[in-house]
A and B are shown apart, each in its own frame.
Chain A
Amino acid sequence: MDLVRDVLDKQLVDREGEELGRVDGVILEIRPDGPPRVEAFELGFVVLARRIHPRVESWLERLRARWSVRKTARYRIPWATVQEIRESEIQVDVRAQETPAYDWEIWLRRNVIRHLPGGGE
């Protein structure tokens, strides 16, 4: 398996098949007695920004600290939770609704969508 080709940027779905985000970054563990091992996937706008330029990252980090509703800038999903790697997506054993990846979605539902006609329960 090729990490960049087969894992990075791939769609993530939770155990019920709900979209969770994409693999924005991969955390590797360097081991003294063997090849590096994939420790976790990393998700978040800040992670993406880093791939463009470190300066964009620090700028976005400041913006996030001030405005974001997300609890953490970087959200890690341990490699141990991977259930299946399919051709088009990776399924992980978590619940999307309970992860920081869904913070914005839930905030919008509660504070914006619900107040618009037809957006309620």
Chain B
Amino acid sequence: MKKWMQLALGVLTGVGGFFDIGNLATSAQAGASFRFQLLWSLLLATVLVIFLVEMSGRYAAVSGKALPDAIRERFGFKFWAGPFLILSFIHVLVLGAEIGGICFALHLVTGLPVPLLAPVVGILVWLLLWRTTFSTLENSTSVLGFLTLAFVVAVVVHHPPLREVAAGMVPSLPHHHPAQYWYIAVSIVGAVLAPYLFYFYSSGAVEDRWDKGYVGVNRGISVIGMGFGSLIAVAAVIVAAVVLAPRGIRVDDYHQAALMLTDAFPFWGFVLFAVAMGVACLGAAVEVGLSMAYATAQTFGWTWGEDLEPREDARFCLVYTAAILISTLIILFGVDPFKLTLLTMVISAAALPFVAIPFLLLMNDRKTLREHTNGWISNTVTVLVVLLSVVLAAVSVPLTLIGGS
């Protein structure tokens, strides 16, 4: 029973890591521009992310080591230094996008300009990390995360054409705007397979002191946690398709996305959207900040842990403090959160090989994992992810130039 309480870690990872600002933006875009036709890319990404999350949790449970720790140890500093720097840069951009998302949610409710809200939000995120313990964070975010179910309720209210929804789950060629179609498909995969997800989840498993007994639970948590995140993202695509597409509303700003829930909930729709967006981004901001600190502390072998007092792991705390500060400044100086989100998704997709390749080698390390080494199914999926990541890395930049505008 106690083990299954760990579901909170899965739901936190699912809400913050899966359904975050990137998924909100790409789901809204996909639904508004191509209705249900891009659902398949979301499902494909869901299957891949479930496998990768399960692997990172299994590795942590068996070896007691989180991913960045294991990568530095197995591959050495020279291999890891480059990816570590690139991923740190991505972490700061993603954190900026999430903080921008919280600011935008508050902007919807208060009417205050987004940059003006940035310092308040930055301090809020920092205080959460500074003053709370890991279990408080995972439990509170998991509970708040259920507010994002508003999208699922909206789907039920709208009675979408089920046959068309089902048809969207099978890949098909676009009838119009092919460049934009593939660009959104790539962004969806980039948004779902966010690098910080795996660093966060495996470090969280170490924080929660998992051992070999958690291998089975971990499997359930990955499926349920990521499944939950995916359910919300699928619902967001469907709502955008039913509400925005018929009116010809294209999403190139969060203002248009904010209209999504107003049909299902005429009076409360706007507020509900703001709350769901705020909660999802807050969960993600906490997660990205921690992931950055975990990765840095583990890379250099410092003391780390969200349950320690700040004076016990000063360097760990300094890392997330600095990351939050820089990300807040990005929004304070007026960078548009929506444009920042899309840019980040593409850079994330381009950096995917750095995330995917270590999995293949770590998960087949028989000396550490013994009987928990990857089987052929997991290995096939990992190879698929590696190949896909290389293709995505190659096409993401040119696609942005043609399809992004």
Contact = CB atoms under 8 A, between A and B. Distances in A.
B314 A11 contact: no
B73 interface: yes
Interface string B115-130: 0000000000000001
Interface residues of A, number: 29
B131 A11 contact: no
A76 to B, nearest CB: 16
B315 interface: yes
A54 B239 CA distance: 56
B337 interface: no
A112 B313 CA distance: 12
Contact of A116 (B63, B130, B313): B130
Contact of B311 (A51, A52, A109): A109
Contacts of B81: 48, 52
A51 B209 CA distance: 33
Contact of A22 (B64, B72, B311, B368): B72
B309 to A, nearest CB: 8
A11 B73 contact: yes
Nearest to A12: B301
Interface string B34-74: 00000000000000000000000000000111000100110
Interface string A42-53: 000000100110
Contact of B73 (A10, A52, A108): A10
B300 A118 contact: no
Interface string A31-50: 00000000000000000100
A8 B302 CA distance: 16
Interface in A75-121: 87-88, 104-105, 108-109, 112-114, 116, 118-121
Nearest to A108: B314
A18 interface: yes
A118 B131 contact: yes
Interface string B308-331: 001101110110000000000000
A18 B310 contact: no
Nearest to A24: B77
A112 B318 contact: yes
A120 B73 CA distance: 34
A52 B78 contact: yes
B324 to A, nearest CB: 13
B77 A119 contact: no
A19 B303 contact: yes
B300 A22 contact: yes
Contacts of A116: 130, 310
A9 B72 contact: yes
A69 B260 CA distance: 53
B69 A11 contact: yes
B171 interface: no
A9 B73 contact: yes
B302 A108 contact: no
A105 to B, nearest CB: 5
A51 to B, nearest CB: 5
A21 B310 contact: no
Contacts of A22: 72-73, 300-301
Nearest to B316: A105
B73 A113 contact: no
Contacts of A105: 302-303, 313-315
A1 interface: no
Which residue, B73, B76, B131, has most C-beta atoms of chain A within 10 A? B73
Contact of B64 (A20, A88, A120): A88
A100 to B, nearest CB: 14
Given A52-B81, A104-B315, A113-B311, 9 more contacts: A4-B76, A22-B300, A51-B78, A87-B368, A88-B63, A109-B311, A112-B314, A113-B310, A121-B311
Top 8 A-B pairs, shortest CB-CB distance? A22-B301, A108-B314, A21-B301, A19-B303, A109-B314, A119-B310, A113-B314, A51-B78
8 contacts: A18-B303, A21-B300, A52-B78, A88-B64, A112-B314, A113-B311, A119-B310, A119-B311
